[in-house]
Amino acid sequence: MSDLRIALYQPDIAGNTGTILRLAACLGLGVDVIEPAGFDISDRSLKRAGMDYLAAVALTRHVTWERFEEWREASGRRLVLASTKAATPYVDVAYRPDDVLLFGRESAGVPDHVHARADARILIPMVEGQRSINVAMSAAMIAGEALRQTGFA
């Protein structure tokens, strides 16, 4: 199991969260869900998307952003934020094995105070005129690159 983690800031869509949980189970990544979520974490569609992989995920729920930050700071982990407002392409970052890859809400990303707390801000370059890539697809792309760099166990 990798020390790399995926964090979801107040996720809106159960299916995306379930897909990310399944990805994390298959890659040996931990997942942090920063609440409140836009759905019940035990929601049927979350379970359907995660299928039988949910039991294999190291899932931590944080009741607030502040609690998540307390945990992160105590653990000494770097926060890497995926954002359409970032300037650095995700392939141009030197990832660390214990990074936390943070993804914002599907509807709104993250607020400015969360953006300001990130140690690194990255984006997936896209063709002009497109808004964003699905959060689960983004998590897969960025986690894949981070694992490639840090050594897939």
Sorted by where each starts, the structural domains of the chain and their CATH numbers stand as 5-150 (3.40.1280.10)
Quote the CA–CA distance of 138 and 11 in Å, as a whole number.
14
Per-residue tens of pLDDT for the chain, all 153 residues: 579 999 999 999 988 998 999 999 999 999 999 999 998 776 565 666 666 777 788 889 999 999 999 999 999 999 999 999 999 999 999 999 999 999 999 999 999 999 999 999 999 999 999 888 999 999 999 999 999 999 875
φ/ψ (deg, to 5) at 118:
-65, 140
Amino acid at 51: M
Q: What is the 3-state secondary structure (H, E, C) of 14-28?
A: HHHHHHHHHHHHHHC
Q: What is the pLDDT of residue 51?
A: 63
For the record, the structure tokens of 136 come out as 């689960």
How much is the pTM? 0.93
